[in-house]
Amino acid sequence: MRIGITCYPSAGGSGIVASELGMKLAERGHHVHFISSEPPFRLNTYMENVFYHPVAATNYALFKSPPYTLPLAVKMVEISKNYNLDLLHVHYAIPHAASAYLAREILAAEGKPPKIITTLHGTDITLVGADASFFDITKFSINQSDGVTAVSNYLAEETVREFSITRDIKVIHNFFDATRFKPGTSNCCKSQFAADDEFLIIHLSNFRPVKRSPDVIDIFAKIKKSLPAKLLLIGEGPDTTLVRRLVKRKGLEDSVIFLGAQIRVEEILPCGDLFLLPSQEESFGLSALEAMACGVPLVGSLGSGISEVIEDGVTGMLHPVGDTGAMADSAIELLGDPVRHKSFQEASIRRANDRFLDTNIVTEYERYYECVLERCSEDAKAMKVQ
Ligand code: GMT
């Protein structure tokens, strides 16, 4: 197939999923054209069958800021025509699904337009899409897409509830690359961050308010009173300054390491003993899955998509949002019991591989593409319906 993929290029889960999916599809022989403002974060090297087309948002004195939605639509038209694309797969509804709709309308007048698949990732529904200034266009673009997927049942249900959507939404969970995300080997980098007798606790996010990163510091401060530990923070975002201030105020400067945004997190995650994700909500929690695949159990928030990824009491311990006391108690209990900790590590690796393996999930996307392109069997077509 000839596939156009559009996503945000920044270090967020939706761009990462789009990049990983595109690379896996390219390995399977599909031609994948990334259409975005910059090369996506994890798409950092050239590989066969992968093409990148930048979208330049031209500014003009009249504009307050350069428009992006329209040049993106025009670039989608250009690439669809030049490479005869079968479909445009857009990740994160706003504004990508609206641009794809415009592109398809323009192309329809000229011949065979590509099909549009929109993958919903989270705040495009739960925060931004639900905002009055985006609501109607988000609902319209979802309804106009030829196929719609969501990364969890939680998100599919939220979409139906929020937008009164009646069309099918196919749930395709996020996945991990099993060749890269796996338990640590003897050359694990833990000693760079923590002493032999210290536990290494990791948090990875884009430090947006929805991640509740100050809670991470609160939980860590409580753990630190009972156990020797270091906290490794990976990522960068609007709350990083706030978190730095909090670390200083709590006198934890020597115990917290700020690593900033990192591309090859698979080389760091296996060194962790525990992963913290106390988010307000997560449609899925890709970082939790990648940690889980590396054999790192999680302590975090109950509800939303995290509960679909983590099995509470088996691969992690979940508590109501904001209950940092209970989260710290669970962390102390788990780290203080080596037998239980080991069973959580093993269960994490098993669950990741049983449920979220790249090979299986990429095949689900391929089958879904075939169905949207009306090339699949009646049996497979039924798969479109949840
Ligand atoms: O919706 C967002 O916040 C953006 C998105 C991103 O680009 O980081 O994150 C969402 O998509 C990820 C990939 O599907 C999920 O793993 C995250 O849980 C989800 N974030 C939220 O729901 C807050």
- Domain residues of the chain, as ranges? 2-175+357-384, 190-355
Q: Is the CB of 212 under 6 A from ligand 1?
A: no
The answer to whether the beta carbons of residues 83 and 53 sit under 8 Å apart is no
Measured from the Cβ of residue 44, the count of other Cβ atoms closer than 10 Å reads 10
The per-residue pLDDT for 378 is 64
Ligand 1 center to 171 CA (angstroms): 15
In this prediction, residue 65 carries a pLDDT of 83
Ligand 1 centroid – CA 206 distance (Å): 10
Atom of ligand 1 nearest to the CA of 210: 23
Look up the pTM and report it.
0.94
* Cβ(12) – ligand 1 distance below 6 Å: yes
Query: How confident is the model at residue 61, as a pLDDT?
Result: 79
Quick check: CB of 304 below 6 Å from ligand 1?
Answer: no
Ligand 1 centroid to Cα of residue 16, in Å, is: 10
Reported in sequence order, the residue ranges of 235-370 that DSSP labels E, i.e. its strands, are 256-260, 274-277, 298-301, 316-319
Let me know if the fold of 2-175+357-384 is the same as that of 190-355: yes
pLDDT at 386: 39
2-175+357-384: what fold? Rossmann fold (3.40.50)
Among 96, 118, 284, say which to mutate for ligand 1: greatest number of ligand atoms within 8 Å of CB: 284
Per-residue pLDDT of the chain (386 residues; tens, 9 = 90+): 999 999 999 878 999 999 999 999 999 999 999 999 999 988 877 899 999 999 988 888 788 888 899 999 999 999 999 999 999 999 999 999 999 999 999 999 888 899 999 999 998 888 787 788 899 999 999 999 999 999 999 999 999 999 999 899 999 999 999 999 999 864 568 889 999 999 999 999 999 999 999 999 999 999 999 999 999 999 999 999 999 999 999 999 999 999 999 988 999 999 999 999 999 999 999 999 999 999 999 999 999 999 999 999 999 999 999 999 999 999 999 999 999 999 999 999 999 999 999 999 999 999 999 999 988 776 666 555 43
pLDDT at residue 197, as a whole number: 95
- Ligand 1 near 368 CB (within 6 A): no
Q: How far is the CA of 12 from the centre of ligand 1 (A)?
A: 7
Which pLDDT score, from 0 to 100, does residue 310 have?
98
Mutate to test the pocket of ligand 1, among 7, 121, 292 (most ligand atoms within 8 A of CB): 121
Beta carbons within 10 angstroms of residue 128's beta carbon: 16
Determine the topology of domain 190-355 in CATH.
Answer: Rossmann fold (3.40.50)
| 13 Cβ inside 6 Å of ligand 1 | yes
The sheet with strand 229-234 has its strands ordered as 256-260, 229-234, 199-204, 274-277, 298-301, 316-319
**Number of C-alpha atoms within 13 angstroms, CB side, residue 10?**
9
Strands 115-120 and 316-319: unpaired
Task: Give the pLDDT of residue 118.
Answer: 98
Q: What's the angle, vertex CA 336, arms to CA 332 and CA 341, rounded to 5?
A: 100
Is the distance from CB of 259 to CB of 11 less than 8 angstroms? no
What's the 146 CA to ligand 1 centre distance in angstroms?
22
Give yes or no for residue 123 CB within 6 A of ligand 1: yes
Output the CA 293–ligand 1 centroid distance in Å: 18
- Residue 106: strand, helix, or coil: helix
Q: How far is the C-alpha of 355 from the C-alpha of 372, rounded, in Å?
A: 24
User: Does the Cβ of 270 fall within 6 Å of ligand 1?
Assistant: no
Distance in angstroms (rounded) separating the CA atoms of residues 261 and 38: 16
Instruction: Give the pLDDT confidence score for residue 272 in this predicted structure.
Output: 96
* CA torsion, ordered 200, 42, 209, 136, to nearest 10 deg: -150
- SS3 assignment, position 203: strand
Nearest CA to ligand 1 atom 21: 282
